[in-house]
Amino acid sequence: MSVPTHKARHVAIIMDGNGRWAKKRHLPRAMGHKKGVDAVRRLVKAAREMGLEALTLYAFSTENWSRPEDEISALMGLMKAFILADLDEFAKAGVRLKIIGDYNKFSADVVELIEGALARTAANTGTTLVVALNYGSQDEIARAATKAAAKGAITPEAIAAELDTADLPPLDLLIRTSGEVRLSNFLLWQAAYAEMYFTEVLWPDFTPAHLEEALAEFAARERRYGGR
């Protein structure tokens, strides 16, 4: 795989389009989510090979609880299957798992699996796979501001230090699949100076080659951080 000369350290992806992928094929939405998990597997491996320090994936938002109960149940089942099937490979490859958001809202068996996976990969020093679960950026910012206020003055630096992502490199590139052009309450603070990349590709069809294309475009952009 080619590596961009102007290299991103931290990439985040809004994985959108599972339902539309299934609908186009006259399949149940659950099948779209299953294929979406397959895409996650491909991308995590590619992120390691490309040398990304962090890959953040928007898996389940605070708004997703409004979806039909059977769809939420299917998503939870896929999450458990993903952890059980892939944890060994991640651990051996040096991937560190990190969760942002309040995963304690999930069922006890899911929480137990997540905490076991976090503990098992905590000492790994390779790519950090960050999974946003029951995550909403506005809630994150409110929590961070509350913690900052309890310690003293509320400044941008004080809030940033209390964010769920405080231990990660700054966000370089945010990708959204499926043609939607919005952030959907994802990493609003972190995306302040991140580059944006929107693609029509539905998430189950998103491949390492598509990630390379996004990184190549990122490499060609001039990042000014508000300057000239």
Please report the pLDDT score of residue 223 as a whole number: 79
| In-domain check, residue 18 | no
Q: Looking at the domain assignment, is residue 205 inside a domain?
A: yes
pLDDT tens figures, 161-188: 999 999 999 999 999 999 999 999 999 9
Residues 220, 221, 223, CA angle at the centre, nearest 5°? 140
Which of the residues 38, 64, 86, 185 is marked catalytic? 64
Q: Would you state the pLDDT for residue 4?
A: 41
Residue 27, phi then psi, degrees to nearest 5: -115, 160
Both tokens assigned to 142: 């409110």
Residue 185 in domain: yes
Which residues of the chain have a pLDDT value below 70?
1-6, 225-228
Of 106, 65, 99, which Cα lies nearest the Cα of 167?
A: 99
Helix intervals (H) in 137-222: 137-151, 156-160, 208-220
Is 16 designated active site? yes
Q: How far apart are CA 78 and CA 105, in angstroms?
A: 17
- The pLDDT score that the predictor gives to residue 6 is 67
Radius of gyration of the chain (CA): 17
94-104 per-position pLDDT tens digit: 999 999 999 99
CB 176 within 8 A of CB 14: yes
Amino acid 26: pLDDT: 97
- Nearby residues of 36 by Cβ (< 8 Å), 6 or more positions away: 15, 18, 21, 203, 204
User: Does residue 132 contact residue 94 with C-beta atoms inside 8 Å?
Assistant: no
**Residue 80 maps to a domain:** yes
Per-residue pLDDT tens digits for 18-34 = 999 999 999 999 999 99
Report the CATH number that the domain containing residue 135 is assigned in CATH. 3.40.1180.10
The answer to whether residue 189 is domain-embedded is yes
For residue 210, the 8-state DSSP code is H
Number of structural domains (the chain) is 1
User: Choosing from 16, 86, 164, 172, which is the catalytic residue?
Assistant: 16
Tokens of 21: 């992928």
Domain membership of residue 183 (yes or no) is yes
Q: 12: which 2 tokens?
A: 């985040």
164 is catalytic: no
Give dist(CA 185, CA 135) in Å, integer. Answer: 9
Which has the closest alpha carbon to 140: 100, 99, 181? 100
Structural domain includes residue 15: no
Determine the Cα–Cα distance for residues 67 and 59; give it in Å rounded to an integer: 14
Contacts of 69 (CB under 8 A, 6+ apart): none
Task: Give the domain extent around 90.
Answer: 23-220
The predicted pLDDT at position 3 comes to 46
DSSP 3-state of 128: strand
Beta strand spans in the chain (E): 10-14, 54-61, 96-100, 128-135, 173-176, 195-198
pLDDT at 222: 83
Q: Look at residue 114 and tell me if it is in a domain.
A: yes
- Name 15's Cβ contacts closer than 8 Å, sequence gap at least 6: 36, 39, 40, 57, 58, 59, 177, 203, 206
